[in-house]
C-alpha cells in the first residue's frame, strides 16, 4: 500500500507579484506581426515586421519608452546594427536597406542595396561595418536557400552558397566562424563562408529556428521538436557535438539569446519565455503575461531585454524577467486555496467576471517560477483547479493567479511529508 502523503498548506498573507515583463507600445497596427527586434545597448534599438501600408519598422533611443517610425515599408524579417549608426534591414523579394545614421524618425536616412536575390531575405548578420551575410529562402514547401556575403558594407553582395531546404537564421562568432540553421539543416563555416559544411546531428523532424553562440565554444539552437513541443540543442565544444537540453514541456521555440555563457532566454509560441542561469542545464518558465506567439528576443545585458511577436507586441524587462515580491493588503476574495491542512492536493478556486486568459503558477521565495499549474483560457464563472504539490520541497511559496482582471497571489507554506 502506497503511503499517504499529507501536505499542509497554510495561507499566511496576501501578496502581489510585480510584473517582470512590461508591454511597450509602438502604435503599430495590432493585426500585424513584429518579426525581429535588435538592441545595441539598454537605450537604442530597432524592430521590424510586416506591413505594406504603414511603416513596418521602428526605432527607440530610450529603451522603448518611445518608438519612432523608420519609414520602411513592406515585410522585413531581420534587422542588424553594428553600432548606433550602421544597420541593415532585410525582407521579402530580396529587399535590403542600409542606414549610416541610425535610421530613426524624420532625420533617419535609409538607402536601398541590391542583394542580387529574388528570394525572401530572412536573416542578416554583420561582424563589423564591412563584413556581413544574408540568408535567403523561398519559405515554401519546395524550399531552396541562398547565402550571400559582402565585404564592403553591402554595396556589393555575392552568393556564397545555395541548396535545398529551409534557412531561417545566421550567426557568426567572428569573421571566419559562422553557423546557419533552418529546417533540419545546420551549416558551419570556418573560412568566412567560402565553404559550408552540413552538420548532421540526427534531427529528422521539426524545424530549427534560431542559433546563438555566447563564445567560441558555447552555443544553442532552438526550434520545433516532437509536436507540440519545442527543442533546445547545446554544444560546449564549438559544435563538435550537440546535446538536447530541458525536460520542460515547452511550446515551439522561435528565438534564443544569451548575455554570457550562463544566462540566457528563449521565446516561443503561446507567450512562452524560458530562462537559464547555468548555461541551460536547467530552464525555468517566466511569466510573459500573454498567450501571443513571441518571435524574437534581444539582450543588452542580463537585466535588459526586449521581445517582439504577433499582434505588434513588444515586451521589456529591466531585471532579467524575475518577479519582485511586494506585500499588498488587498486581494480578490474569490481567490482561495483550500482546505487547510491539505491531503495530497490543494483546490484553487477563483471567479471570472468574463472569459479571460488565466496563468496559475507557483514561485519560490526568490521570485523564481518553480511550477506552472495552468496556462490557458477560462470562461466566465467559478473555476476550481486541483494542484498536486508533492514534488515541491518544504518551504515558503507564492501561488500567483493572473487574469485579465489583475494579478493575485497567496503566500503559502508547504510542510514536510508525513509517513
Residue ranges per domain, the chain? 6-18+325-414, 22-320
Output the pLDDT for position 266: 97
Q: State yes or no: pLDDT of 331 exceeds 80.
A: no
For residue range 18-74, list pLDDT tens digits in order: 448 999 988 888 889 999 999 999 999 999 999 866 789 999 999 999 999 999 999
Please, which pLDDT band fits residue 335 given cuts at 50, 70 and 90? confident
Residue 333 CA: distances (Å) to CA of 12, 141, 251, 329, 409: 15, 53, 33, 12, 11
Output the pLDDT for position 342: 54
CATH superfamily membership of 22-320: YVTN repeat-like/Quinoprotein amine dehydrogenase (2.130.10.10)
pTM score: 0.77
For residue range 354-386, list pLDDT tens digits in order: 888 888 888 876 667 788 889 888 998 899 998
Calpha distance 160→142 (Å, rounded):
21
Please spell the DSSP secondary structure of 125-194, one letter per residue: EESSSS-EEEEEE--SSS-EEEEEEESSTTSS-EEEEEEES---EEEESSSS-EEEEETTEEEEESSTTS
For residue range 263-322, list pLDDT tens digits in order: 999 999 989 999 998 999 888 888 888 889 999 999 999 999 999 999 999 999 998 987
- Measured over the CA atoms of residue 337, residue 338, residue 342 and residue 344, the dihedral's sign is negative
192 phi, psi to nearest 5 deg: 75, 15
The answer to whether residues 6 and 417 touch, using CB atoms and an 8 Å cutoff, is: yes
In CATH, what is the architecture of 6-18+325-414?
Sandwich (2.60)
Q: How far apart are the first and last CA of the chain?
A: 12
Strands 178-182 and 336-338, by their bridges, are unpaired
**Strand, helix or coil for residue 101:** coil
For residues 337-355, give the mean pLDDT: 77
**Between these two residues, 9 and 20, which has the higher pLDDT value?**
20
Amino acid at each position: 500500500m502506497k503511503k499517504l502523503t499529507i501536505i499542509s498548506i497554510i495561507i499566511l498573507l496576501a501578496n502581489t507579484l510585480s510584473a517582470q515583463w512590461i508591454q511597450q507600445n509602438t502604435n503599430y497596427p495590432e493585426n500585424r506581426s513584429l518579426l525581429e527586434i535588435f538592441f545595441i545597448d539598454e537605450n537604442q534599438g530597432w524592430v521590424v515586421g510586416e506591413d505594406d501600408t504603414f511603416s513596418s519598422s521602428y526605432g527607440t533611443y530610450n529603451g522603448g519608452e518611445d518608438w519612432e517610425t523608420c519609414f520602411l515599408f513592406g515585410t522585413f524579417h531581420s534587422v542588424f546594427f553594428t553600432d548606433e549608426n550602421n544597420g541593415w534591414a532585410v525582407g521579402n523579394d530580396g529587399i535590403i536597406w542600409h542606414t549610416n545614421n541610425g535610421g530613426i524618425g524624420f532625420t533617419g536616412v535609409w538607402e536601398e542595396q541590391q542583394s542580387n536575390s529574388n528570394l525572401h531575405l530572412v536573416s542578416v548578420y554583420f561582424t563589423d561595418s564591412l563584413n556581413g551575410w544574408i540568408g535567403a529562402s523561398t519559405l515554401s514547401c519546395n524550399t531552396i536557400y541562398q547565402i550571400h556575403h559582402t565585404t564592403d558594407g553591402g554595396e556589393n553582395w555575392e552568393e556564397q552558397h545555395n541548396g535545398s531546404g529551409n534557412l531561417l537564421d545566421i550567426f557568426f562568432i567572428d569573421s571566419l566562424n559562422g553557423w546557419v540553421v533552418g529546417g533540419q539543416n545546420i551549416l558551419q563555416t570556418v573560412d568566412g563562408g567560402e565553404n559550408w559544411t552540413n552538420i548532421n546531428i540526427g534531427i529528422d523532424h521539426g524545424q530549427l529556428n534560431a542559433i546563438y553562440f555566447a563564445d567560441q565554444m558555447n552555443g544553442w539552437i532552438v526550434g520545433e521538436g516532437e509536436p507540440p513541443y519545442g527543442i533546445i540543442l547545446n554544444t560546449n565544444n564549438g559544435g563538435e557535438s550537440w546535446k538536447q537540453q530541458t525536460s520542460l514541456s515547452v511550446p515551439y521555440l522561435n528565438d534564443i539569446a544569451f548575455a554570457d555563457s550562463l544566462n540566457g532566454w528563449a521565446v516561443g509560441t503561446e507567450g512562452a519565455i524560458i530562462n537559464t542561469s547555468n548555461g541551460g542545464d536547467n530552464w525555468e518558465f517566466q511569466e510573459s503575461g500573454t498567450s501571443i506567439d513571441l518571435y524574437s528576443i534581444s539582450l543588452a545585458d542580463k537585466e535588459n531585454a526586449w521581445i517582439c511577436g504577433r499582434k505588434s507586441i513588444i515586451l521589456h524587462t529591466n531585471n532579467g524577467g524575475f518577479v519582485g515580491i511586494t506585500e499588498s493588503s488587498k486581494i480578490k476574495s474569490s481567490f482561495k486555496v483550500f482546505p487547510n491542512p491539505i491531503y495530497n492536493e490543494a483546490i484553487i478556486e477563483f471567479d471570472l467576471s468574463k472569459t479571460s486568459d488565466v496563468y496559475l503558477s507557483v514561485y519560490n521565495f526568490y521570485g523564481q517560477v518553480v511550477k506552472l499549474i495552468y496556462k490557458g483560457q477560462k470562461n466566465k464563472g467559478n473555476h476550481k483547479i486541483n494542484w498536486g504539490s508533492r514534488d515541491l520541497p518544504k518551504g515558503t511559496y507564492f501561488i500567483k493567479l493572473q487574469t485579465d482582471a489583475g494579478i493575485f497571489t497567496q503566500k503559502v507554506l508547504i510542510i514536510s511529508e508525513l509517513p
